[in-house]
Amino acid sequence: MSHHHGSHSHDDISHELGHVVPYKVYATVFGSLVALTVITVAVSRVDFGVLNIVIAMLVASVKAMLVALFFMHLKYEKPITWMFAFFPIFLLGLLIGGVFLDNPFRSDPTVHVSAPAASSGAAAHH
Amino acid sequence: MSTYAQTADQEQGPPHVHHMDPVTAYHAAKFGMWLFLATEVLLFGGLFAAFAVYRWYYLSEFHHASHHLNWQLGAVNTLVLLFSSFTAALAVDAAQHGDNARVRKNLLFTICCGCIFLVIKYFEWSAKYHHGLFPGTAEFNGAEFNQAYKSFFGLYYCMTGLHAFHVIAGMGLLFWVFRKAQRNRFSADYYTPVEVGALYWHLVDLIWIYLFPLLYLVG
Amino acid sequence: MSSQCTAGTCNSCHDDDHNYLKYPKGFWSWVTTVDHKRIGLLYLFTILIFFFVAGVFALLVRTELMHAGRDIMDAETYNMFFTLHGAIMIFLFIVPGIPATMGNFLLPLMIGAKDVAFPRLNLMSYYIYVLGAIMALVALIRPIGPEGLQKFLAGLGLIGPVDTGWTFYAPYSLQSGSSVIWMTGAAFVLGFSSILTGLNFVVTVHKLRAPGMSWDRLPVFVWATYATAIIQTLATPVVGITLLLLIMERAMGVGIFNPQLGGDPVLFEHFFWFYSHPVVYIMVLPAFGVVGEIIPVFSRKPIFGYRAVCYASLAIAFIGFLVWAHHMFVAGISDTSAIYFSAATFFVAVPTAVKVFNWVSTMYKGSIRFESPMLYAMGFVFLFMVAGTTGIYLATLAVDVFYHDTYFVVAHFHYTIQGGAVIGLMAALHFWFPKMSDKMYNETLARFAWVLDFVGFNLTFLPQFVLGMEGMPRRYYDYLPQFEPLHQISTVGSYVNAIGYTAALMNLLFAALFSKRKAPSNPYNSLSLEWQTQSPPLHENFKETPVVTDWTYGYGEPVEGGSH
């Protein structure tokens, strides 16, 4: 068996296994997740207009962070894992952002709804 | 070739691989799973992006369409998945303490929760199907059926369907881990499969955490 | 100071019985191998077969375009043939391309590791690639036979060769009476293979570097492959879900991209290009890495601006995610987004130009040897510069409205992908051939083939810039008589180009099989790690794990101990 990392240390190479989290932490996190689920259902029963989706996504993100940080041990991971955990979310933001730079600013954003056959045929693009 | 295979007398401790030491292997596996989860986020990301666009097009219709979904069942399923994530985390904790019996117990809870989730999902889908809210039925595909509803339910089935597929895959993965725990494979020195399998399962939970409010609550 | 590995002295003594080509023995050991070097070779043979097949289709398409009007095939066949050419070249040859072949072979050797992080996953991605390739080929065949069989195949979605082009634009791909489901399914499966390879490489670079191989000592090929692997891992899932949605839409009538079902076909293009723009960097970034390895060795100079070259790879990968809609300027996107995407696209030029300047500066006052790898590398720099500068035309919003869907785009694309990625692969094959096989090829023939490649390539595609400027639309079966002379030059050029590639690859193949000329372990006196082990490398790469004490580009500096 090779131990070719030996005593040498890289910034992204560890020498121990994972972190052991106290049982209580898991239980607290689970309790909070249930509470947040109740909250998000309750809030959705009240009409806040556009705020409804904002609140729902905020609560969901708090729940997601709790799962990631404690259940998935992200809290104890190295910065490189954090980077690869959040970079895809950034990319998803780019995708949604780029699409929303287009659709709402079209001269008639609903054109495909009113004229379903408008853009048929095989357009050839590079 | 034999250097890669696990040898019989090595039933305790990490499996021997020729190209890295056990600690590196543990971190490589975990990091690899995080990367794979990153790809999963972007796989579902396309669906979330499509949902954002069509919700913007058909705001009020999406709101109405979401009332056709049963939020009570959705909420129950949310709690079921949250609990399954909790037990998956406990399975890792058990493995870290070398308690294979507790690993098995917690994984069994997790897998059962996955089954409950799928059964509830099945009843939801079949109820929609009987109301004609299913792509492929003549009524749904007809020209007079609301276009916004086509988008909403098209996305609903794609998102929950892809998610359900991941639930099944996750259950398969955890069952494989369970089999290893039956052979008392895990110890404080070696619990990589438990942790990596649990990571995957948590992602299934994470995706649902967003799907539930988007589809069932605010639409 | 340039002494590379201090503990690797024993790595130079030869152990021929345990080199990766001989050990372990037998056909079964090859098809079940988890050795990254053998997997690299498996990929290499597979993709070169597809390169040949798709090349033949390109020649048939070019032959048809020799004269206005019908030459050798009808219009439908022509549509299928250019789709075959594009789909096979893109999905089966150039996307796996350099990363799956040279990346697999070299990455662990270059960082001093024994294998990639997940060797079995590596083999699995090869077989997933094979599965995808089979699905793609099935989608490209016209079903024949008794009616019952044809009905059965149609039930499986096999209704004829795909005629959508490789981009599968909705809504045509939703209406086309061809095996679109199989082709998009194949692209999905191939994407999965690409993701697994990328993931494997990212973990390998992070976790398996030899002692002393810090990030600022990594060879530029490793940096480039790492940047590529990140794109492979993170961009591919988006096209994966897009193709899945297209399949759902065709199979079930889900309304996502079909305007008749309330969908937005332009959204398909957004999703498609969110992957397929970064994918051109998957194709070309590793070629940048190859050239970055070859030029310092044959100029006997340290690579100029090492950090800039490395960071430019990451910058290109990152900016590649910000510019996708420049493929859609005439697709009906809003002016607001068109202006942003045009402006953002110009920024790609910055890190790309940094690389070109660095290669040229590395050669400046160097002691240059014009051997075939160097010729290909220099050809690459020239061809890629043409590709980059014509890319500026296409990034310019107003100009692109005219150039879009003309031969100008075809020429630009081929300068990037053939002049970049394929020439880069040829450079890599010639450079690392002695390492992979321990033989030397015929250098004279290699140079002669390079001349044919270079001349033939420019003869094919320079006229296409002019054709595009004069308004010749791409993908057309027929054209106006005034375009005929340039089309003829282009067709003749494609023949010359084909002879060049055939000669070059045959030269390598014959050398590998029959040549008696043994290559030394390090025929070019390169300093990077893969040359410090024997040729062909051992099954486990190094006898002792090397300890790295310096970067790999210390050429022309005083040598301690005279070992190099």
What domain range includes position A65? 20-72
Distance CA C279, CA C195 (A): 12
Instruction: Flag whether residue B199 sits within 8 Å of chain C, measured between CB atoms.
Output: no
And the tokens for C301? 């100079």
Residues 6+ away with beta carbon under 8 Å from B51: B155, B159, B214
The residue written with tokens 């109301």 in the block is B131
Residue with tokens 């390998």: C204
- Please, is C370 exposed, middle or buried when counting C-beta atoms within 10 Å of its C-beta (0-12, 13-18, 19+)? exposed
When comparing pLDDT for A23 and A15, which is higher? A23
Q: Measuring CA to CA, which residue among A1, C39, A83 is closest to residue B31?
A: A83
Asked if residue A51 belongs to a domain, the reply is yes
Give the mutation candidate from A12, A102, A111 for the C interface (greatest C CB count, under 10 A). Answer: A102
Q: Is the peptide bond before C24 cis (omega within 30 degrees of 0)?
A: yes
Cis upstream peptide for C171 (omega within 30°): yes
Angstrom distance (rounded) from CA C366 to CA C357? 15
* C374: helix, strand or coil: helix
Measured between CB atoms, does A105 come within 8 Å of chain C? yes
Domain layout of chain C by residue ranges: 8-531
CB within 8 Å: C248 and B154: yes
**Cα of B34 to nearest chain A Cα, Å:** 7
* B48–A99 CB contact, under 8 Å: no
Hunting for tokens 């007809």 — which residue is that? Answer: B142
C538 φ, ψ (degrees, to nearest 5): -65, 160
pLDDT confidence of residue C203: 97
Asked if C231 has any chain A CB less than 8 Å from its own CB, the reply is no
Domains of chain B: 20-218 (1.20.120.80)
Q: Alpha-carbon torsion C20, C24, C25, C29, what sign?
A: negative
Q: How confident is the model at residue B7 (pLDDT cuts 50, 70, 90)?
A: very low
Asked if A66 and A90 sit in the same domain, the reply is no
Rounded CA gap, C508 and C448, in Å?
13
DSSP single-letter state for residue A4: T
Which pair of structure tokens corresponds to residue C321? 């995610």
Residue with tokens 């240390």: A9
In a domain, A42, yes or no: yes
Distance between alpha carbon A70 and the CA centroid of its chain, in Å?
15
Cβ contacts (< 8 Å) between B4 and chain C: which residues? 34, 119-120
Residues C268/C170, Cβ–Cβ less than 8 Å: yes
The verdict on a CB contact (< 8 Å) between C255 and B135 is yes
Q: Domain count of chain A?
A: 2
Query: Does domain C8-531 correspond to CATH entry 1.20.210.10?
Result: yes
Asked if residue A92 and residue A61 are part of one domain, the reply reads no
Task: Classify the C-alpha dihedral A88-C43-C189-B193 as positive or negative.
Answer: negative
* Mean pLDDT confidence for B96-116: 97
Residue of B nearest to C205 (CA): B28
One domain for residues A56 and A98: no
Please name the residue ranges forming H helices in C470-549.
Answer: 484-514
Mutation to test the A interface, candidates B18, B209, B210, B211, most A Cβ within 10 Å: B209
Percent of chain A predicted with pLDDT > 70: 74
Cα angle for residues C40, C201, C542 (degrees, 5° grid): 65
**pLDDT under 50: residue ranges of chain C:** 1-9, 561-564
Q: Do A62 and A97 belong together in one domain? A: no
Contact A126 C327 (CB under 8 A): yes
pLDDT score recorded for residue C562: 44
Per-residue pLDDT reduced to its tens digit, C222-277: 999 999 999 999 999 999 999 999 999 988 888 889 888 888 899 999 999 999 99
Q: Is the omega angle on the peptide bond into residue C536 within 30 degrees of 0, that is, cis? A: yes
Of the two residues A50 and C283, the one the predictor is more confident about is C283
| Rounded Cα distance, C304 and A27, in Å | 56
Instruction: Establish if A2 belongs to a structural domain.
Output: no
For the stretch A52-86, pLDDT in tens is: 999 999 999 999 999 999 999 999 999 999 999 99
> Looking at the structure, do residues A52 and A30 belong to the same domain, yes or no?
yes
Strand, helix or coil at C5?
strand
Residue A115 counted as domain residue: no
**Same domain (yes/no): A49, A83:** no
The answer to the question of residue A9 being in a domain is no
> Which residue, C5, C102, C98, is CA-closest to C552?
C5
* Cα three-residue angle B109-B111-B116, rounded to 5 degrees: 90
What pLDDT score does C499 carry? 97
Q: Over 60: is that where the pLDDT of A120 sits?
A: no
Length of chain C: 564
A89 located within any domain: yes
Predicted TM-score (pTM) above 0.95: no
- A50 and A90 co-located in one domain: no
Residues of A in contact with C114 (CB under 8 A): 2, 4
Identify the burial level of A107 via C-beta atoms within 10 angstroms of its C-beta, where 0-12 means exposed, 13-18 middle and 19 or more buried. Answer: exposed
DSSP 8-state class, residue C209: P
- Beta-carbon contacts of C122 under 8 Å, excluding residues fewer than 6 positions away, are C34, C36, C39, C104, C116, C196, C197, C200
Report the distance separating Cα B206 and Cα A69, nearest Å: 12
Q: What is d(CA C90, CA B26) in angstroms, rounded to the nearest whole number?
A: 36
Report the Cα–Cα distance between both ends of chain A, in Å, rounded. 50
Placement of tokens 């082009």 in the chain: C165
CA quadruple A64, A70, A74, A75: dihedral sign: positive
Residue C538: strand pairing partners: C19, C541
Show the CA angle centred on residue C385, arms to residues C384 and C389, nearest 5°.
120
Whether residue A62 sits in one domain with residue A26: yes
B199 touches chain A (CB under 8 A): yes
Residues 39-98 of C with CB under 8 A from A: none
Q: Which amino acid is at A83?
A: M
Is residue A67 domain-shared with residue A83, that is, in the same domain?
no
One domain, residues A88 and A44: no
Specify whether the CB–CB gap between B210 and B93 falls below 8 A. Answer: no
Section B119-135 average pLDDT: 91
Does B86 reach chain A within 8 Å, measured CB to CB? Answer: yes
Test C238 with B1 for CB contact under 8 angstroms: no
Could you tell me which chain C residue has the CA closest to the CA of A107? Answer: C334
Using CA coordinates, name the residue in chain B closest to C206: B28
Instruction: Looking at the structure, tell me whether residues A66 and A87 fall in a common domain.
Output: no
CB neighbourhood size of C57 (10 A): 20
Please measure the distance between the N-terminal and C-terminal CA atoms of chain C and give it in whole angstroms: 11
Interface contact flag, C115 B32, Cβ < 8 Å: no
* C-alpha closest to that of C432 among C104, C202, C200: C104
From chain C, the residues in CB contact with A15 under 8 A are none
3-state class percentages of chain A: helix first, strand second, coil last, to nearest 5: 60, 0, 40
**C151–A contact, CB cutoff 8 A:** no
Tokens matching residue B11: 């039933």
pLDDT value of residue C83: 87
Does the CB of A79 have a partner CB in chain C at under 8 Å?
no
In the prediction, which pLDDT does C417 show? Answer: 95
Both structure tokens of C342: 């045009």
Q: Does residue A124 fall inside a structural domain?
A: no
Subunit contact C114:B36, Cβ cutoff 8 A? no
- Per the rule left: phi > 0, alpha: psi between -120 and 50, beta: everything else, C3 is beta
Q: Which CA distances in Å does B3 have to B14, B19, C35, C348?
A: 14, 9, 11, 45
What is the structure's pLDDT at C297?
96
CA distance B197 to B192: 8
Please check whether residues A25 and A47 belong to one and the same domain.
Answer: yes
Q: How far are the Cα atoms of B206, C266, C288, C486 from residue C328, in angstroms, in the given order?
A: 34, 8, 27, 28
Residue A7 lies in a domain: no
Q: Is B139 on the interface with A (CB under 8 A)?
A: no
